[in-house]
Amino acid sequence: MANVKKESSNAGGMFSGIVIAGCILVGWLIWNFIMGNGSNFEGGVNTGHPLPGNYLAMVYKGGPIVPVLMGLLLMVIVFSFERYIVINKAAGKGNLDQFMKSVQGSISKGDIDGALAACDKQQGSVANAIKAALVKYQEVKKEGFDSEAASEMIHTEIEEATSLEMPMLEKNMTIISTLVSLGTLAGLFGTVTGMIKAFAALATAGTPDQAMLANGISEALINTATGISTSALSIIAYNLFTSKIDTLTYSIDEAGATIVNTYRHFRGSSKN
């Protein structure tokens, strides 16, 4: 089991590395060949001024930091889609709320076989963890353990099942949370370097040119806008997926509590 986890972790790390490198590369290709296409500029070359209203050319003039910002934005999009797919798969095939109501109803009635059938139908990480707890319930019921010992065994089984099923949900969430800060910082860095270049150009020109200064500032602020957009998207994605993961974890805990309470009720009834 440890080897399987290690191999899965290595494969996941390799995937993340490939995605990061690929996003940076794609960002550079977009910046160089699409935004930097000569048709977007006066004179047909990307060294000229952007055509009026051509935003691709304006973003291109943001400088070499733009491919990095584009790469960061693409990372947020790619990892968000990846997390969405994984978390939806963990929730199972059917509606999670309906599944939980069905399972809890079956457990409360003592219909463990019905709850197990619902878990087999739902599949996913939540259903697998609950199924493991139900199987343990049947075992402790057959052995006739007292309520405290049974409760401990069922909780232990749930924790072990969760430790096997849920860690993949947290994977790459660190990257998304890091992009929240990294996007803003990269945007500010691009703005600072752009402002330095704008004022340096004015200094060498001798006579202050207001149009040139305004153009340089607008180009520099493009980096800030792109960085803030990346950070905003990262915050939304991170909070959304964190909320979904908490919901899945709570569902497992809630089902575990129902199973334990059902066993205690069974023990109390058998004594009477």
Cα–Cα distance for residue pair 233/224, rounded to 1 Å = 14
Instruction: Kindly report the number of other CB atoms within 10 A of residue 205's CB atom.
Output: 11
pLDDT above 50 for 2: no
Which residues, 6 or more positions from 257, have their beta carbon under 8 angstroms from its beta carbon? Answer: none
Per-residue pLDDT, averaged over 39-64, amounts to 84
- pLDDT, tens digit, for every residue of 172-204? 888 999 999 999 999 888 888 878 777 776 776
Task: Output the pLDDT for position 1.
Answer: 45
Mean of all residue pLDDT scores within the chain = 82
Q: What is the length of the chain? A: 272
Cα–Cα distance for residue pair 77/208, rounded to 1 Å = 42
Instruction: Kindly report the number of other CB atoms within 10 A of residue 143's CB atom.
Output: 10
Angle between helices 124-143 and 210-271 (to 10 degrees): 20
- pLDDT, tens digit, for every residue of 214-236? 666 777 788 888 899 999 999 99
Q: What is the CA radius of gyration of the chain?
A: 28
DSSP annotation of 51 reads P
Task: Output the pLDDT for position 4.
Answer: 44
Helix residue ranges per DSSP H, 144-209: 147-165, 167-170, 173-205
Least confident of 125-134, 179-188, 255-264: 255-264
pLDDT above 90 for 168: no
Instruction: Kindly report the number of other CB atoms within 10 A of residue 8's CB atom.
Output: 13
State residue 207 phi and psi, 5-degree precision: -85, 125
Per-residue pLDDT, averaged over 83-109, amounts to 87
Q: How confident is the model at residue 72 (pLDDT cuts 50, 70, 90)?
A: very high
Q: How confident is the model at residue 208 (pLDDT cuts 50, 70, 90)?
A: low
Residue 137 in tokens: 């319930």
Task: Output the pLDDT for position 107.
Answer: 82
Task: Output the pLDDT for position 266.
Answer: 66
Per-residue pLDDT, averaged over 70-83, amounts to 93
Angle between helices 124-143 and 112-122 (to 10 degrees): 160
The per-type count for the chain, helices as H runs and strands as E runs, is 10, 0
Beta-ladder partners of 50: 41
Q: How confident is the model at residue 206 (pLDDT cuts 50, 70, 90)?
A: low
